[in-house]
Amino acid sequence: MSSTITIRNLLPDTDLVCFLVCSLFTKEECDNLLNSERKASFQKAISNYPTYYRNNDRLVIDDSQLSAYLFDKIKSHLPDHIENWTLAELNTRLRFCKYNANQYFHRHLDGIHYVSTTKQSKLTFMIYLNNAEEFEGGRTVFYKTKDSTDIWASYVPQQGDVMIFDHNLWHEGEEVTNGEKFVLRSDILYTKELEENSKEPFSGHLGYIWKILMFDNETLLSAGRDKTIHVWNMNGESRQTLRGHQNSILCMEKMNERTFISGSRDKQMKIWKRNDNRMFELISSFSVHSATVLSICKVTKGFFASSAADNSIKIVNLNGQIQHELIEHTNWVWQVVKLHDDYLASCSEDQTIKVWNYKNDKCIRTFYDHCSVICLMYDQMTNTLVSGNFQGEIMVRELSSDFNEIQTKKLDGHNGIVRTILKLNETLLASGGEDNKVKIWNIQSGICVQEFQHDNFVQALELTNDGKLLSASYDGTIKVWKI
């Protein structure tokens, strides 16, 4: 081991791991990792991540041999145990990241990589592949919380340094203003013994839950980052696990009493049908988008609308044939909802909400927001369109019969992005956000009348037949609330 290798603790005032192993890799080793072939293979992250979150280039490879070599270099510096977890290995999935001028990775927590319930990542592993003299900006910056304005610690990249830090630390890759910055990132995996404790209701997903869907009064579907769809009874007992997607499943929609559709980051949509034994089977798969499928909405008995990270909305039949294409948004289309008859509404990362006559392929109205609009809900009885945006605001738009805006009411919403909205009854509205909260609103007064808490972002909401509210979260749980 080189005598120049030193350990630098970046956050001495916390028990969370955050340190540098300085000069662990030589210039030659860094240049070999960032060889000419890899350097020419970077792709934009925009197809998988929205621009509010990150806009850098990346290259993802799976290489067990390289992973073992990197782990052998770093393992003597790693904690052998974190609570009841024991050091195991480096994730074989390696992410090379490139930051050009005006590129960044905004404040975030690194997601846990789940191999199983007893094997998962705890620490981020990051090699800085070039020196800060080759670019301007681009520090790694840490914050105590999601909303802190004060920098807790910062680091100016030096080639060959390795940073190790806990997944629970809020951090960002500061915007590069000039030049090019390169890093290699992966995860340190730990294992633990299988616990014999009884399972909690709705316990089974590994990591984020993206979507839940009440299929009927007795059946809940949930979809997540672990590429699975779980079928639950209303006691939270798993009845079936559906596999077929190759990446995170972000959306689902019921089409009839036996059939639902799922959409994924793998760009695929899959049709699932319940057989006479009440078990779901995969019927067909197809792809109509060139990027992540973000939402699906039933339009008629045999048609649905889908929106995606390719900025488009497609009207598709159950055979996967495109009937109409709605192309006017200039960024991710987060959600599409049916209004009535021939009309749809959509919300986008481009800070607009659009109303479409889909049969004519025409946008007939555009409502402008001052930031990205993430979620949308329409109440046909009151002709009200409700949206949630990047700044935590909930906008309630009363519309005329031809979808002009009559008046708009703003609710203070959440301390962070509003991710989901659901009407509960004539007077109450539920919302979930990146402040880890579920909030219940009186629509008329605009007052929050009830509040519930998760341990991570609240991603999806559903209402049971007996009036209970279900919420799903990045914390991997589905919770049941009494309103």
Any domain includes 204: no
Same domain, 329 and 183: no
Q: What is the 3-state secondary structure of 374-399?
A: EEEEEECCCCEEEEEECCCCEEEEEE
How much is the pLDDT for 174?
97
CA distance 38 to 102: 22
Any domain includes 201: no
Please check the confidence at residue 391 and state whether its pLDDT lies above 90: yes
Domain boundary among 156, 191, 226: 191
b/e sequence 198-218, b meaning 16+ C-beta within 10 Å: eeebbebbbbbbbbbbbbeee
Same domain, 126 and 249: no
Any domain includes 422: yes
What does the radius of gyration of the chain's CA atoms come to, in whole angstroms?
23
Any domain includes 198: no
- Give the CATH number, domain containing residue 165: 2.60.120.620
How much is the pLDDT for 2?
45
How much is the pLDDT for 48?
77
Strands 181-191 and 85-90: antiparallel
Q: Domain tally for the chain?
A: 2
Same domain, 214 and 181: no
Percent with pLDDT over 70 in the chain = 99
Once rounded to an integer, what is the mean pLDDT over residues 421-439? 96
Q: Report residue 198's pLDDT band, with 50, 70 and 90 as the boundaries.
A: low
What digits encode the pLDDT tens for the residues 43-52? 887 777 888 8
Rounded to 10 degrees, the C-alpha dihedral 37/39/41/43 comes to 170
How much is the pLDDT for 175?
97
Domain boundary among 159, 191, 223: 191
How much is the pLDDT for 196?
66
Same domain, 165 and 223: no
Please check the confidence at residue 202 and state whether its pLDDT lies above 90: yes
Domain boundary among 163, 191, 219: 191
Q: Which two tokens stand for residue 132?
A: 């800060």
Q: Are 285 and 273 in contact (CB under 8 A)?
A: no
How much is the pLDDT for 1?
40
Same domain, 179 and 327: no
Same domain, 245 and 376: yes
- Give the CATH number, domain containing residue 392: 2.130.10.10
Domain that holds residue 139: 6-191
Once rounded to an integer, what is the mean pLDDT over residues 414-425? 96
Please check the confidence at residue 197 and state whether its pLDDT lies above 80: no
Please check the confidence at residue 342 and state whether its pLDDT lies above 60: yes
Please check the confidence at residue 405 and state whether its pLDDT lies above 50: yes
How much is the pLDDT for 96?
97
What digits encode the pLDDT tens for the residues 315-330? 999 999 999 999 999 9
CA distance 472 to 430: 13
Residue 33: helix, strand or coil by DSSP? helix
How much is the pLDDT for 200?
87
Same domain, 163 and 235: no
Same domain, 265 and 393: yes
Residue 127 CB neighbours (<10 A):
27
Q: Which of 125, 123, 130 is nearest to 100 (CA)?
A: 130
Once rounded to an integer, what is the mean pLDDT over residues 328-351? 96
Same domain, 219 and 162: no
